[in-house]
A and B are shown apart, each in its own frame.
Chain A
């Protein structure tokens, strides 16, 4: 069965640089979620999109932005990167805007 695809899997950036993370949801899933997970922490919700519109917002810094495109893939744009942004970033998708979320393998971002 198709799963959530994230790219890149690993990313190394320097402070103050910009990063773009991509997420391709499971086909026919119309809701996409972004999470940030630091070492030893549970996933922290950043933002979600339903039918290409922002549906909910969590603890996403103003330096970050995201969007969902017409093909339902989503991108998380991170600017002015800080050391504390180093984390695993997960994308999840769900059908029918709720409930079961299926997670991608994550992008490991390291900011040096």
Chain B
């Protein structure tokens, strides 16, 4: 079992839809969770960074962590065609190591 599981998609939604992206992880000791957005042929861009359980909101983006279920989510409200990208969840495991999910490809249709 991989330490971080993420459905690679692709996920296609109409403009204005609410998007839900999810990852599960295996180690209950993990505490730092991140979401990155990666456009084609570009470096991953840090979107959200959360510690422990709960919600964190930044504009149209909300990151949610449920440590009891070992489940993390990223919600995008009022999705735009410019949100079309690959979204990677990432977990900092301590020390110097971060584990990335496989990334979910999102397409937002105008």
Checking A31, A41, A42, A104 against B43 with a beta-carbon cut-off of 8 angstroms, the contacting residue is A104
Kindly state the separation between the CA atoms of A92 and B43 in the bound complex, as whole angstroms.
9
A56 touches B43 (CB 8 A): no
B94 at the interface (CB under 8 A from A): yes
Q: A42-B102, A104-B43, A105-B42 are in contact. Are A99 and B92 (CB under 8 A)?
A: yes
A106 touches B96 (CB 8 A): no
Checking B49, B92, B100 against A42 with a beta-carbon cut-off of 8 angstroms, the contacting residue is B100
Kindly state the separation between the CA atoms of A104 and B41 in the bound complex, as whole angstroms.
11
Name, among B34, B44, B100, B101, the residue most crowded by chain A CB atoms within 10 Å (CB to CB): B44
Chain B interface residue count, Cβ-Cβ cutoff 8 angstroms? 23
A18 at the interface (CB under 8 A from B): no
Q: A42-B101, A42-B102, A42-B103 are in contact. Are A103 and B96 (CB under 8 A)?
A: no
A60 at the interface (CB under 8 A from B): no
Checking B34, B41, B95 against A108 with a beta-carbon cut-off of 8 angstroms, the contacting residue is B41
Chain A interface residue count, Cβ-Cβ cutoff 8 angstroms? 26
Label chain B's interface by main secondary structure. strand
Kindly state the separation between the CA atoms of A55 and B97 in the bound complex, as whole angstroms.
9
Q: Which residues of B contact A98 (CB under 8 A)?
A: 32, 92, 94-96
B46 at the interface (CB under 8 A from A): yes
Q: A42-B88, A42-B103 are in contact. Are A97 and B45 (CB under 8 A)?
A: no
B98 at the interface (CB under 8 A from A): yes
Q: Which residues of A come within 8 Å of B, CB atoms?
A: 4, 31, 33, 41-43, 45, 48, 50, 55-56, 58, 88, 90, 92, 97-106, 108
A-B contacts, 6 listed (Cβ < 8 Å): A43-B44, A98-B92, A98-B95, A101-B46, A102-B46, A105-B43
